[in-house]
């Protein structure tokens, strides 16, 4: 059995400065304000990990949005929270340049301050030293596995969740990374095992449907996504996936169902361009070109492509009767001012 002191000694030699920082501050309780630790935090600031986290910063410092269904895990909030967690030096104003900055960052405290404030509040809670409910902990562990599998390199996923780890979160991560890297049939077998273990978990059915859809088998994706939708109380992101699968079947008998599902999804998840782009395709299949142009314009606007959005909205206006809801929405897009940091093109 490896001695704990040997493990700590090994970690202190890590090439990753954030690991050395956590050991020295959180294990050895060294003063975070000491010159040695400040120097170590500066090393963190210049590390490859931080460079990778901030690689999508634009010229004025704003962290660019990916505008996809998993955008919330790649946006500025989570990147800054990660920087705070790994020991990035506090007070770096370059992280929120005034010109073109995210309004959220301009009006909220920096990550380290937020973490410190939250920690103070958490320690004051009567539940601070109480164990989490096992069911909630299990859900949390599954979510961590899902984020890791979708966002990290495959080799990193297998380091976090080696094949020897047969826990449900590890099996979830294995199934996701297997389908993402092209082994669909093997992934489906693993997903079926997850469903057998938890037959009422909507996200296992969602994964099965997503794997089939992205694997070019949309007709087979419809049934598991219907099941996921029913078990999740109509989660809008699952509605979008189901709508996408229905559209991808290229079966016109699914068109009206796809439109109804996608309209319900975008009514609640209003800033997801995927929903509007799929809705545009469904309307196009139905021959409703006014609604198709309007949905395409909304998708383009949400992607930050203002010129395309205005062009499509202008065409949509010519197809709607003046003063109708569709005409008014199209006119709003034409008249809208760009969001801060977006191109006016």
10-residue stretch averages of pLDDT, the chain, 345 residues long = 70 86 84 86 87 73 57 66 84 58 56 76 85 90 94 93 96 96 94 97 96 95 97 94 95 94 94 93 94 95 92 94 93 80 57
Strands (E), the chain: none
Residue 289 within a domain: no
Residue 81 within a domain: yes
Could you tell me the sign of the dihedral formed by the alpha carbons of 90, 92, 97, 98, in that order? Answer: positive
Going from the C-alpha of 331 to that of each of 134, 309, 315, 318, 334, the distances in angstroms are: 51, 11, 10, 11, 5
Residue 66 within a domain: yes
- Cβ-count burial of 173 within 10 angstroms (0-12 exposed, 13-18 middle, 19+ buried)? buried
pLDDT recorded at residue 98: 38
pLDDT recorded at residue 62: 62
Count of alpha carbons within 13 angstroms of residue 272, beta-carbon side: 24
pLDDT recorded at residue 324: 94
Residue 172 within a domain: no
Closest CA to 141 of 61, 203, 68, 67: 203
Residue 324 within a domain: no
pLDDT recorded at residue 291: 95
Q: How many domains does the chain have?
A: 1
Residue 91 within a domain: yes
Containing structural domain, residue 66: 4-123
Closest CA to 172 of 156, 155, 200, 150: 150
Measure the CA–CA gap between 30 and 11, rounded to whole angstroms. 16
pLDDT recorded at residue 132: 83
Measure the CA–CA gap between 106 and 205, rounded to whole angstroms. 40
Number of H helices, E strands in the chain: 19, 0
Residue 302 within a domain: no
Residue 296 within a domain: no
Per-residue burial over 211-238, b if 16 or more Cβ lie within 10 Å, else e, is bbbbbebbebbbebbbbbbebbeebbbb
pLDDT recorded at residue 64: 62
């Amino acid at each position: 059995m490896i001695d704990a002191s040997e493990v700590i000694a090994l970690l202190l030699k890590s090439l990753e400065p954030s690991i050395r920082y956590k050991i020295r501050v959180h294990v050895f309780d060294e003063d975070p304000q000491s010159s040695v630790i400040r120097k170590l935090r500066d090393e963190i600031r210049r590390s490859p990990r931080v460079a990778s986290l901030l690689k999508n910063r634009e010229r004025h410092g704003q962290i660019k949005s990916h505008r996809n269904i998993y955008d919330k895990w790649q946006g500025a909030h989570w990147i800054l929270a990660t920087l705070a967690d790994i020991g990035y030096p506090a007070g770096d104003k370059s992280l929120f340049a005034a010109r073109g900055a995210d309004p959220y960052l301009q009006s909220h405290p920096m990550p380290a301050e937020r973490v410190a404030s939250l920690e103070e509040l958490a320690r004051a809670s009567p539940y601070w030293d109480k164990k989490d409910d096992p069911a909630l902990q299990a859900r949390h562990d599954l979510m961590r596995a899902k984020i890791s599998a979708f966002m990290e390199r495959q080799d990193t996923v297998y380091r976090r969740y080696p094949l020897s780890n047969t826990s449900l979160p590890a099996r979830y991560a294995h199934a996701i990374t297997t389908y993402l890297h092209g082994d669909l049939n093997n992934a489906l077998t693993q997903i079926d095992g997850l469903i057998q273990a938890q037959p009422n978990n909507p996200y296992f059915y969602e994964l099965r449907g997503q794997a089939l859809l992205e694997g070019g088998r949309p007709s087979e994706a419809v049934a598991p996504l219907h099941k996921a939708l029913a078990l999740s109380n109509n989660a809008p992101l699952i509605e979008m996936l189901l709508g996408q699968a229905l559209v991808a079947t290229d079966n016109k008998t699914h068109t009206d169902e796809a439109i109804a599902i996608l309209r319900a999804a975008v009514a609640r998840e209003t800033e997801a361009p995927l929903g509007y782009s799929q809705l545009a395709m469904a309307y196009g299949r139905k021959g409703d070109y006014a609604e198709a142009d309007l949905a395409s314009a909304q998708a383009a606007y949400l992607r930050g492509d203002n010129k395309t959005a205005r062009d499509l909205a202008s065409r949509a206006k010519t197809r709607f009767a003046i003063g109708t809801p569709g005409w008014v929405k199209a006119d709003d897009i034409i008249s809208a001012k760009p969001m801060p940091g977006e191109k006016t093109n």
